[in-house]
Structure 1
Amino acid sequence: MRRVLNEMAASGSSIQSSVSSSKAAASSSSSSPSIFTNYALISALVAFTIAQSIKLFTSWYKERRWDLKRLVGSGGMPSSHSATVTALAVAIGFQDGFGGTSFAIALILALVVMYDATGVRLQAGRQAEVLNQIVYELPAEHPLAESRPLRELLGHTPPQVIAGGLLGIITASVGHMIILTCG
């Protein structure tokens, strides 16, 4: 019995030492990456920033006036939502492999966001246009006549989503090439 207890104590200490060394290895490897060097996150944020900046210029081209709200607003060409999630998925694919679970999750997220942008949010924006027109035509004494207009630019047309997706792919690919040449 005493021999069994001694063996259990010895195996327990070897397990404890291997757990300690695993924790040390994990803490040293997890302390080196930083949010500022997170390639997938940076790719997504850069794609978003580029898409929103392009919207500023496309709205100027169409309306011949600068609309700074386009820098933060939704809707328009290209889809910043599509650019962001596509850049994220492609960057994860380059970093962790296109056959991995992380890429699968990011790809499904991207597809859902892009489907939503062309479906639900586009239709909600069109409904807002109709409702705003109805409210505009109400007599002045109607209680809703003074209500604030609904936001109409919510969703995207399929070309806007495709352009955003291509922007995301290009952004992540350029980022990957930069990493390959610098590293």
Structure 2
Amino acid sequence: MNFIDSLSNNKIFWAAVLAWFIAQTLKVIHTLIIDKRINFSRFVGSGGMPSSHSALVTALTTAIGLTHGFDSGLFALSLCFSLVVMYDAAGVRNAVGKQAVILNKMIEDLQTKKNKGLVKQSENRLKELIGHTPFEVFAGAILGIVVAKILI
């Protein structure tokens, strides 16, 4: 069996991909409801509700547990990987997003108030929506578990 055939028959892989896809689609829908506009860039963007990173890794971990057993080394490895990803999403990446908000505001203030003409206009603002709130991570994790339970 070749690689493509093996991958196309891998339910664990497809559970993770489907959970990611659903989470990213929900971000577009969430933006439509909240901002009253369609923003397809949310489909590939990071941050927001729900966490697609959490959905992907928890679907992967749950599918591995259901397939190989929750006492397997593969499940333990995947669980540790998932916890690191979710901690990073809600901790480190969320903090980076908050810092970007502050830095963008500082640059804007410098450009408009204090040093008119002395501070070079930045072409791109720092990306502010990078991480997740704990609730967004939790919602993504629940989505991933549900998708894996349905598919496996």
**Normalized against structure 2, the TM-score is what?**
0.92
Which structure has the larger Rg? 1
CA RMSD of aligned residues (A): 1.6
Highest RCO, 1 vs 2 (Cα 8 Å, sep ≥ 6): 2
**Runs of 4+ more than 3 Å apart:** none
User: Which residue of 1 is the match for residue 22 of structure 2?
Assistant: 50
Cα 1:101/1:144, change in 2 over 3 Å: farther
Q: 2:54 corresponds to which letter in structure 1?
A: S
Measured after TM superposition, the shift of residue 141 of structure 1 is 1.3
Contact map agreement 1:138 1:145 (CA 8 A) in 2: no
Cα displacement string for residues 130-162 of structure 1 (whole angstroms, at most 9, x for unaligned residues): 001111112341334334100000000011000
User: 117, 127, 137: which one pairs with 2:99?
Assistant: 127
> Where does the alignment leave 5 or more consecutive residues of structure 1 unmatched?
1-27, 177-183
Q: Structure 2, unaligned stretches of length 5 or more?
A: none
- Counterpart code for 2:145: I
Residue in structure 1 matching 2:130, options 148, 151, 154 = 154
Q: Deviations for 1:99-146, whole angstroms, at most 9, x for unmatched residues?
A: 000000000010000001110000000000000111111234133433
1:36 aligns with 2:8: yes
2:85 to 97, 104, 113: 113
Structure 1 residue 60 displacement after superposition = 0.9
